[in-house]
Amino acid sequence: MNQPEESLLFIQVKQGNIKAFEALFHRYYGFLCQFAEKYTRDSDASEEIVQDFFVSLWEKKDEIKIDTSVKNYFFRAVKNRCLNYLQHQKTKSKYTQKVLLEEEKKHSDDDVFVEIELSKKIEESINSLPEKRREIFKLSRQEGLKYTEIAKKLNISIKTVETHMSLAIKSLREKLKKYYTVFLLFF
């Protein structure tokens, strides 16, 4: 199809001739999709851009003035739509990143709050243990001593250490049952 034929078809499109519109559509649709895909790297998005272009062409046929060739007008219009699409994708991506970072920060702040609250509750619960039990518990859990080492250090039997540890854990479980899942992770 040469330039004068395309110009004549476009004049007919402006007059509402659907057959002329279909002829231009069939002539350029595939080429425009391939052209658009070079920008978008997405065949679905490219097809949608070209389809939107043709819909807009039909809807605004009375307003459109083509100073160059029909072919140049079509490719320039699709290129502009592709650039708009890419700009929109970039903006959408930045917004998505921003939302994700805000959510991550929010959850991070929530986690810190829960961790602080839990630490306070654990410390309060440990401090509420009887003195000897608290001392044995701290030697085991905070200083990492084995039961035999605790027994030697405090000059008591291993069985006494085991009993105190068992009672300490039982007591802490009861006091911290609200935080039981997290408690298991710590102890």
69 shares a domain with 13: yes
Is residue 110's pLDDT more than 70? no
The whole-number pLDDT of residue 111 equals: 61
The whole-number pLDDT of residue 187 equals: 47
The whole-number pLDDT of residue 109 equals: 57
Q: Is residue 30 part of a domain?
A: yes
Q: Is residue 181 part of a domain?
A: yes
The CA R_g of the chain, rounded to the nearest whole Å, is: 37
pLDDT tens-digit map of 80-97: 999 999 998 888 788 778
The whole-number pLDDT of residue 183 equals: 47
The whole-number pLDDT of residue 123 equals: 83
The model's pTM is 0.53
Q: For residue 167, give its domain range.
A: 128-186
Q: Is residue 117 part of a domain?
A: no
DSSP string, 118-173: HHHHHHHHHHTS-HHHHHHHHHHHTS---HHHHHHHHT--HHHHHHHHHHHHHHHH
Question: What is the percentage of the chain residues whose pLDDT exceeds 70?
Answer: 88
64 shares a domain with 133: no
Domain's final residue, options 41, 71, 95: 95
75 shares a domain with 26: yes
Q: Is residue 119 part of a domain?
A: no
The whole-number pLDDT of residue 46 equals: 93
Count up the domains in the chain and report the number.
Answer: 2
Q: Is residue 116 part of a domain?
A: no
139 shares a domain with 57: no
pLDDT tens-digit map of 127-142: 888 888 888 888 888 8
User: CATH number, domain at 157?
Assistant: 1.10.10.10
